[in-house]
Structure 1
């Protein structure tokens, strides 16, 4: 019966739903499936075409890019090859945080765009917009990469997630029906991982046996740890597990694979530009989503002149400091991403704030998409509530998504009943203390003492990472 319904959903219900919604997701998916096997020459020709189109559009219709490129002495016609992309100054999260509306294209009415926000790896909320077509295309991206796990359209899958913007769609009756019978999602809120809820979730997964489990890296680890401790003889056997949204260490990956007796596929992306790279079952590296984003690895403040000398960062001008030295294969640096599809609010040479490196060669799977090595993304601790519940660090990031005056935060749990919150604002006095304390106590417990301190700067750790949640009791 399960196989019969999967076939019915894949070939009739799923296509009918998207046809009625006038959403070209499946049309995009069909092209994506072809492009992943394109030759390198085909792929690079496609990338250059998309890059030239986006740069021309941004120069003509987006105030921020027009001013930036004029200051750099660059015009769209200067981009004649993919190598010419390094003529373009890079964009920082700070630019978007400070000049958000200047990134919007004049061809789009802001009210027609999809608003979103990201906490990033620094604890600094970034607010941005996506146009409808980009939103639909990136949904198709995920389906292509999800299929690499062994899952397919029509199959159910388990989701251990915490982004309320993603989960809230399940709240309405219509979306609950779509979620359950079309997309066939079995959700578990990563922000509320109580033993009781994990037990009920395990019961569902043992009964339904979804081919894929998708989730936050640390939430997957917490669920795997629960099964190892309390249900070591469980029979949950997905074809693949996809870990996303956080850095996945080799140690944790091996543990999750051992608990579920299946492969864990690492995935890297961001809310700003969507899916960037994913592993397939061969696990030879993360396939860059190269027909939809252009990924570079670079180092800033290390430009090399014609004599091969590294420039003094203090002597660089404002524009020159935005031009990185591009890294060689296997050399680690900061990821820089260009989204080919968000014409409503272009992201061109967007600095991700995460470190990674490209790998040589191609995967044994036959896809010609270039490979990315391990990415050191965001790091966050679970916070322990008064009742013992483990609260995913992402919960606290989402509190600040709609607080535009907050530039950065860091939450430190000194004791179970003591939380210290450091906040960096735009210069004004932090006026949302009551709201933030209420949201923290909602999950940690009314007895928790929340101490909020407004500071000018939050330094990184010795490793260079910004930890937006730290628990000294977890």
Structure 2
């Protein structure tokens, strides 16, 4: 670890977290010790934390207090993991319907967050400092698995409007201090891909972070042009927010000459799992319990695929207990050769996050449209469908009529993203239909994409 990286990882970043009131460093120290515990010891810890969590939410969260009273039991009756199946499986729809009844009475100093709506159904939720600190610490620990740390040079290829618009002076100064450089993952036409390749060569990052679809396009472009990126000392590319397709993993790792670490998590459910250099996708067991259930919410056999349901053991102020992520996957019963006792997740099949094709042929990541939709007032669900190069249909399910000026802003934003020749149709509907395979996808491109990533 270089001297500058040590200053950031051991001084500046911990100071930032302390000033924000996040117990991140305390959590990191505990996590770096407990990752080597046996599976039995980790399960015992999960049981303790689950009991404490359930006792808190029964006392403080109106929904769970009423639900538990209807069961005719007392909080002391809940013994731990073995009783987890007594609790209801929940989802975004139920949480949204409950409103303030899902938030702990008297809870203060919470930060409001939003999901991007991976099912087309955004959710507003609130997190306390302990939950935020745990998520940051879990990601920090998993980053260190690859021999990189906070303060090492990082290039982030990301498409979130929230993150990109937040590049004000304070954030820009902080990112320079931590040597993290944000590159918007939008308008990935050949010229822009060439500029990104040049940025990578100039900055020589130790790690990259971003959507695998976007990173793979950069890698393919470099390969096509015969430009080397494997001579820069990049150690790892962290990919997230999409399913990492085998062909994406291959081209990223080969062209960049680095490891590729898949990550699975969500703003609401938490930092769920990340891949280690030995290939195991380790669950953050100290903070989460992951269940794999069938369509009737019954546990499947070890190694069998099913619906991923997560219980976050921190954050009783706004709990996510037996929460459907909307994705499918399996628990791997085999231990990882790295020696960590953390359980393993495999075969994660998240919802595809399509990009759309601009009039000039540029590929625009689906997240750009997710964040446009999330800000619409009264939004229940949505779907953006590109039928051809010049026509986009937007389906909206709303709790209240959409003001004309808001609809016009939405149209203009889509045209701005895809080109002036785009015709945008906005339809308010009672139901958002799933795809033919039964999955709910929020951004769907039906335009053939000549890029080999598709």
User: TM-score higher than 0.5 here?
Assistant: yes
- The alpha-carbon deviation at position 407 of structure 1 amounts to 1.7
1:251 corresponds to 2:250: no
CA spacing shift, 1:92–1:227, aligned 2, 3 Å: same
Which among 370, 373, 386 is matched to residue 346 of structure 2? Answer: 373
Q: How does 1:217-296 map to 2 (within 5 A)?
A: 217-234=212-229, 235-283=231-279, 285-296=280-291
Residue matched to 1:67: 66
State how far apart, in whole Å, the 2-side matches of 1:122 and 1:22 are: 32
Residue matched to 2:333: 360
Residue matched to 2:304: 331
Q: How does 1:65-464 map to 2 (within 5 A)?
A: 65-109=64-108, 112-169=109-166, 171-182=167-178, 184-234=179-229, 235-283=231-279, 285-301=280-296, 324-426=297-399, 428-431=400-403, 432-464=406-438
2:305–2:347 CA contact under 8 A, matched in 1: no
Q: Which sections of structure 1, spanning at least 5 residues, go unmatched?
A: 302-323
Q: How does 1:35-50 map to 2 (within 5 A)?
A: 35-50=34-49
CA spacing shift, 1:331–1:72, aligned 2, 3 Å: farther
Q: Secondary structure at the match of 2:349?
A: coil
2:435–2:441 CA contact under 8 A, matched in 1: yes
State how far apart, in whole Å, the 2-side matches of 1:18 and 1:128 are: 21
- The alpha-carbon deviation at position 7 of structure 1 amounts to 3.3
Q: Secondary structure at the match of 2:347?
A: coil
State how far apart, in whole Å, the 1-side matches of 2:63 and 2:387 are: 42
- The alpha-carbon deviation at position 345 of structure 1 amounts to 0.7
- The alpha-carbon deviation at position 273 of structure 1 amounts to 2.0
Residue matched to 1:304: none
CA spacing shift, 1:3–1:423, aligned 2, 3 Å: same
1:465 corresponds to 2:435: no
1:214–1:243 CA contact under 8 A, matched in 2: yes
Per-residue CA distance 1:443-463 (angstroms, 9 max, x = gap): 112331100122222232233
Q: Secondary structure at the match of 1:326?
A: coil
Residue matched to 1:319: none
State how far apart, in whole Å, the 1-side matches of 2:375 and 2:64 are: 25
1:151–1:212 CA contact under 8 A, matched in 2: yes
CA spacing shift, 1:22–1:63, aligned 2, 3 Å: closer
- The alpha-carbon deviation at position 95 of structure 1 amounts to 0.9
- The alpha-carbon deviation at position 65 of structure 1 amounts to 1.6
- The alpha-carbon deviation at position 356 of structure 1 amounts to 0.7
Larger deviation: 347-356 or 396-405?
Answer: 396-405
- The alpha-carbon deviation at position 267 of structure 1 amounts to 0.9
Normalised by the length of structure 1, the TM-score is 0.88
Per-residue CA distance 1:150-200 (angstroms, 9 max, x = gap): 31233111111122333444x222221111113x21211123434444333
Q: Secondary structure at the match of 1:325?
A: coil
CA spacing shift, 1:373–1:75, aligned 2, 3 Å: farther
- The alpha-carbon deviation at position 268 of structure 1 amounts to 0.6
Per-residue CA distance 1:88-123 (angstroms, 9 max, x = gap): 1111110122223211111313xx321111134311
1:68–1:89 CA contact under 8 A, matched in 2: no
1:96–1:127 CA contact under 8 A, matched in 2: no
2:50–2:80 CA contact under 8 A, matched in 1: no
1:256–1:264 CA contact under 8 A, matched in 2: yes
- The alpha-carbon deviation at position 48 of structure 1 amounts to 1.0
CA spacing shift, 1:19–1:58, aligned 2, 3 Å: closer
1:128–1:272 CA contact under 8 A, matched in 2: yes
Larger deviation: 239-248 or 63-72?
Answer: 63-72
Per-residue CA distance 1:344-367 (angstroms, 9 max, x = gap): 211111111111110112111111
- The alpha-carbon deviation at position 342 of structure 1 amounts to 1.2
Aligned length: 445
- The alpha-carbon deviation at position 134 of structure 1 amounts to 1.2
Q: Which sections of structure 2, spanning at least 5 residues, go unmatched?
A: 450-454
Residue matched to 2:452: none
1:379–1:465 CA contact under 8 A, matched in 2: no
State how far apart, in whole Å, the 2-side matches of 1:265 and 1:252 are: 12
Larger deviation: 243-252 or 186-195?
Answer: 186-195
2:162–2:371 CA contact under 8 A, matched in 1: no
